[in-house]
Each structure stands twice: as structure tokens, then as C-alpha cells.
Chains A and B, each alone.
Chain A
Amino acid sequence: MNTSALLFMIITQTIITGLMLNFFFRVLFAKPKVGINEDSYADNDEPAGKK
């Protein structure tokens, strides 16, 4: 590959992969919101009968 193509590819792909991982990890490790009784996601709901 010529240098400009290689540089262009590496820079673009690094930026895109970096931003994708950054946003995805922020979703994965986002803290639950304080003061919200019921959020949008069923997996976070407490099982019925459990207080």
C-alpha cells in the first residue's frame, strides 16, 4: 500500500473504532440513575413480590 493510503486508512479506522468503543463502554458502565423508580429496561425491574 502507498503511504498516503495506509495513513488515511489507519487514521480513519482508528478514529471510528475508538469512538465506537468509547460510546459502547460508556453505555456498558453507565451508573443507574438515582431517583428513577422504573426505567425503560425489564431486566432492571425487581422480580414480582421482592421489595
Chain B
Amino acid sequence: MVDNKLQWGSRVGLILAMAGNAVGLGNFLRFPVQAVQNGGGAFIIPYLVCFLLMGVPLLFIEWSIGRFGGQFGHHTTPFAFARMSKARMWKYIGVFGIFSNITIASYYCYIESWTMSYVYHSAVGTFAGMDQNSVAAFFDDYLNVFTSTTGIPFEAIVFFVVCLVLNTWVLSRGLSGGVEKAAKIGMPLLIVFGIFLAVKAIFLKAGQDGAVYDGTVGLNFLWTPQFDSLANPKVWLAAAGQIFFTLSLGQGSVQCYAAYVKKKDDIALNAMSAGWMNEFVEVVLGSAIIIPISIGYLGIDRVVELTSFGGLGLGFRTMPFLFQQWGPLLAAVAGVAFFGLLFFAGITSTLAMGTPVMSFLIDEFNWRRSRAAMGFGFSVLLLGLPTVVFFKKGVFDEYDYWAGTVSLVVFAMFEAILFAWVFGMKKGWQEITDGADIKVPAIFKYILKFVTPVILILVFVTSLIRPANDDWSKVSITGWEVHPESIIAKIRNDHIGPNCEYFTDTYYAETAGVVDSVYTSEEKNVVAVVKEDQSVKMYETAMTNSVVVKKGDRVDAGVALFSGSFINNVFYVDMSRLLLVALFLSICVLIFVAYRKRKKEGTI
């Protein structure tokens, strides 16, 4: 008979797996960028306040809900929620705890595959001799599934599938034999790689290895407190957002891992240990790598400009070039360490996303462990392929926005209300403190009941109605222009611009400017338009479509650039949203079927 039981091997293994769940690419790529964009050293104050008032309470809530559900054999949020309240809606809100994991895993696994590929390219010296533009172009080529940087056809898909197979294999080995072993190898290696790179960054000297500034210039920029930015709501919103992503809250994975902890065992100290380990990796190591190194070579202005494109761009388009300045051997070591570190951060997180999906299939449909792992792998493959193939069409960003951002906030808001107000703080506090190896300060009882739900509601409402340019003084009863990243603007497709039809015979300019050049490159017609801020916007189309502008033409948004036959990005954006809605509804149906089955069996 196959052993289908999932169980943790050791407490340290659980802590490392839980910390691995939290530690992700965002610790190294998102946190420093957020800090740079939000006042440098002053960002850390709202960040730590949000950690104490939102992060720590949510950790307590999620660990408690997980262990509570586990007592009844429920290792996922839909049925754990159903045990906490008789109202039907809660189990369907719990669906977010499975939905988010499958969806985030499907695009996160793709980023993880980039890190795997970049470890290989760093080791074999692919980046040797390349200038900064070539390294950036290499990344763009990699993202195009039809080009190959290794000679392997459809390389991006191949690396994605290899990465997914590795995740599926580890998951099929169970918690103690798979997830925990991966965390016990990955987390220490990640910290060692991180310390190596941080030391190298801090001791970077101007004039050595091509560096223009000392590494401490970057640290100075990052850590100089700017207390005036504390009054800016944008900084607080960014800090709250970062706490969410960094602790993997509102996702359902913490609850699932904690569901395998028995009632009399501690969760309070475990939650603190894993949470602070994540903070160590993020604040101590994450702040000491990419910003000091990149500022050391490129200067503050250029790095601030680069961070406007996000941390992924800085990590993959710039870092391989900077490592080359350290000579061939150190460049290879640093590249392997940096992308290896990102790989371990990624895989320990995707394993945590796979576990709730597996547990759901095992708990509710009696699937064998290996079959459940395959079920997860297959779902992620189906859902993830559109992000790989149509990456540049906006599918990846849609998944990230709806599943990796909005769903987390909505889910966490509801679970905080469920825990403190529906389940009740008396029972909730009992759940947190049962078997605790530390004394949880009583003030958290009030924070959990009043402060955390209010903060979460505020985060949700501000995400919904965020004003343009984050100018909150413009918010009025008569209406205001919303930020393109606000939920309302996203639903209305405000960011789409003039190319708003699915299928069309004309492609229009998206912004005003002057046509700088018209040429053909790699069997594509290209039009370069210099915008009013002097940045260049490139438009590309197949050779079968014709260009209707010429060099020197003045174009406004909505002026025709190409004629022929086009499928606009809005088509892919809307299709990916439909796919996500279909996935959510499918999981709801599965929950309905499983609930009826349990009712019949008398197990709920």
C-alpha cells in the first residue's frame, strides 16, 4: 500500500520550509526597489510598523486557521473556513486559498525557470564580453519563445517544463521527504550565497574592477532616513503591499503547512521564527546586494531610472553585466550565486504553492500523493503556458495583478474578519496560545480584533480607488482620475489605449511623438517614435503588415501606424481574465462536490 500520509519530519524543517515559502524573489528584487522608490531609509519605518500591525497578526491568524482545520483533517482553507463558520459563503471565500496558489505558481514557475537558465549561462560564461545593451537584449531574446540562446528549440518553454517537473517530483516525495529536504538544502545555501554577495557589494571600491562609486554609496542612498516621506500615503501603501508579498500572506500556503501541526504543538513561536527569518533575508541581505552593486557601477540617477521598470529588469538585464566587471572566474561564481540564490528562493515558494493543491486532492478526492503532485504539475503547465508564449502580450502581468496582488488582499481581509469577528477573538486567542512556547503579548488580542482588519480594509479600498499620481488631495465627492494600477482602472482597461479592439486592420500609436526611424529587423517592420519626454517607444509588426508613417511624421495617440491584420493585446488580456474566472469557478464546483460528499459521509 502506498504511504499517502503527509507529515513534517522536524520542527526546524517546518520553520525552514515556512521561511522558504515566505522568502522569494521579491526579497532580493522587489524590496530594495520599493525602498529606493519610497524614500530610502524612511521606507523601513512604515515597513516595520506594517510588519508588526499587519504581518505578525496575519501570521498568527494563518497559522491558527491552518492548525485548527488540520484537527478535522482539512488541510486547505475552504474546509477550514467551513469549520469556523456555518455560513456557506466562507468555504467559497476559502477557494482563494487554492486559486491563488495554482495561478501564482503558473507564472512564478516561469520566473524560476529564468533563474535556472541564468545559472547555466553564468556558469558557461555566456555573458563574457557582452556590453550592457547586449545583456539586456539577451534577456529580451530569452523571453521570445521562438529564439534560442542555447541552441535548444523553444528554450523558454523547455526550461519552464524542466522547472515544473522538478517541482512536481519534489512535491511527490511528500512533506518530510520532499518539501522539507528542499528547504533544508535551499535555505542555508541561499543565506550563504546572500552573505557572499552582500560582502562583495559592501566592500566594492571605486576605481577597482571598473566601479565608479564605493558600495557604501548605495547603502547610504538606501538607508538615509527621509522622514518627510512618512506623511505620504503612497509610502505606507507600498510598505503594506511589500509586507503582504514578502510573507506570502493571503495565499493559503501558510495555513496548509500549519495544518500538519498537531493541536498541542506550538505555532506562536514557529510563526515568529519563520517570519523574522524572512525579515532577516529581506532587510539585511536583500538590501545589501543589487542596490549597492548597481549604484557602484551605474550611479544613483541611472539606478533610480532602472528601478522604474521594476526589480526583475534590474536583476536580469543589468546584474549579469555588472558581475562581468569582476573578471571571468568571479563573474561566473557571482552569477551562479545570485541566480542560484533566486532559484532557491523561488523553488521553496512554489513548493509551498503546490502543497495546498495536493492536499486538497488528497483530502477530498483520496488521490495518491504522486497523482496529486502530477495533478498540480499538469494544472500549472496548462495555466502557465499562456504566460510563457504570450508573455509580451500582457498575460503574465494579468495573472500577477489579479491572482498575485488583488486576490491576496481580498482573501486576507476576509480571513482577518472571519477570525476576529465571526469565529470570535476568544476562540481565536485560544487557538494562537494553545501549546505556545512563547508568551504572546496580550496587546495582539486588540490588534487582531481592531487594527489588522481595519488596515486590510484600508489597503483594499485604497487599491480600488487609488488616485492618479497618488495625489490623494484630488479625491473628492465629485469624482477623480484613478491611477492606472487601481482596480477600477484595470477593470475598465484604462491602460489599453487606442488599440482597444480584439481584431482590427489598423494599428494606432499609443502616445504622441515624432517618428524617429522606420526600418525592418528580424523580419519585422519597426517604427521608433520619440516621445515628448525624449524616451523612445518602439512599435513592431509582421512584414505582412505595412507601415503608413514615415520618418519625421508627427503622430498623436490614435494615429494609424500600420495597416494589415492585427490581434491586439486587449484580446490576450481579456482571455487571460476569462481563464482566471473559469479557474476560480471550477474550483468552486469542486468544493461544492467535495462538500456534498463529506455531508453524505457525515465527516463535516
The answer to whether A and B interact is: yes
Chain A residues near B (Cβ < 8 Å) = 1-2, 4-6, 8-9, 12-13, 16-17, 19-20, 23-24, 26-28, 30, 33, 36, 38-44
Q: In the docked arrangement, what's the CA distance between A17 and B13, Å?
A: 20
Contact B266 A30 (CB under 8 A): yes
In the complex, which range does the number of interface residues on chain B fall in?
Answer: 35 or more
A-B contacts, 16 of them at CB < 8 A, read A1-B220, A2-B220, A2-B224, A5-B222, A8-B224, A12-B283, A19-B276, A19-B279, A20-B277, A23-B273, A26-B273, A27-B12, A27-B269, A30-B11, A33-B435, A36-B264
Contact A27 B223 (CB under 8 A): no
Q: Chain B residues with Cβ under 8 A from A30's Cβ?
A: 11, 266, 269, 437
Contact B273 A40 (CB under 8 A): no
Chain B residues near A (Cβ < 8 Å) = 7-15, 41, 44, 48, 176, 216, 219-220, 222-225, 260-262, 264-266, 269-270, 272-273, 276-277, 279-280, 283-284, 435, 437-438
Contact A42 B272 (CB under 8 A): no
Q: Chain B residues with Cβ under 8 A from A12's Cβ?
A: 44, 48, 223, 283
Q: In the docked arrangement, what's the CA distance between A36 and B223, Å?
A: 48
Supplied contacts A2-B224, A13-B284, A23-B277, 6 more A-B pairs, CB within 8 Å? A4-B41, A8-B223, A26-B437, A42-B7, A42-B9, A44-B10
Contact A16 B10 (CB under 8 A): no
A20 is contacted by which of B7, B264, B279 (Cβ under 8 Å)? B279
Contact A17 B284 (CB under 8 A): yes
Q: Chain A residues with Cβ under 8 A from B265's Cβ?
A: 33, 36, 39-40
A contact face: mostly helix, strand, loop, or mixed: helix
Q: In the docked arrangement, what's the CA distance between A6 and B270, Å?
A: 32
Question: Nearest-CB distance from B591 to chain A (Å)?
Answer: 26
Q: Chain A residues with Cβ under 8 A from B261's Cβ?
A: 40
Q: Chain B residues with Cβ under 8 A from A1's Cβ?
A: 216, 219-220, 223
Q: In the docked arrangement, what's the CA distance between A33 and B264, Å?
A: 9
B contact face: mostly helix, strand, loop, or mixed: helix
B12 is contacted by which of A4, A17, A28, A38 (Cβ under 8 Å)? A28
Q: Chain A residues with Cβ under 8 A from B269's Cβ?
A: 23, 26-27, 30
Given known A1-B219, A33-B435, contact A41–B272 (CB-CB < 8 A)? no
- A9 and chain B: residue at smallest CB distance: B223
- B5 and chain A: residue at smallest CB distance: A42
Contact B262 A40 (CB under 8 A): yes
B270 is contacted by which of A27, A36, A42, A43 (Cβ under 8 Å)? A27
Q: In the docked arrangement, what's the CA distance between A30 and B261, Å?
A: 16
Q: In the docked arrangement, what's the CA distance between A44 and B540, Å?
A: 62
Q: Chain A residues with Cβ under 8 A from B437's Cβ?
A: 26-27, 30
Contact A5 B224 (CB under 8 A): yes
Q: Chain B residues with Cβ under 8 A from A20's Cβ?
A: 273, 276-277, 279-280
Q: In the docked arrangement, what's the CA distance between A51 and B402, Å?
A: 53
Contact A27 B44 (CB under 8 A): no
Question: Nearest-CB distance from A41 to chain B (Å)?
Answer: 5
- B7 and chain A: residue at smallest CB distance: A42
Question: Nearest-CB distance from A45 to chain B (Å)?
Answer: 9
Contact A41 B224 (CB under 8 A): no
Contact B225 A4 (CB under 8 A): yes
Given known A19-B276, A24-B273, A40-B265, contact A5–B9 (CB-CB < 8 A)? no
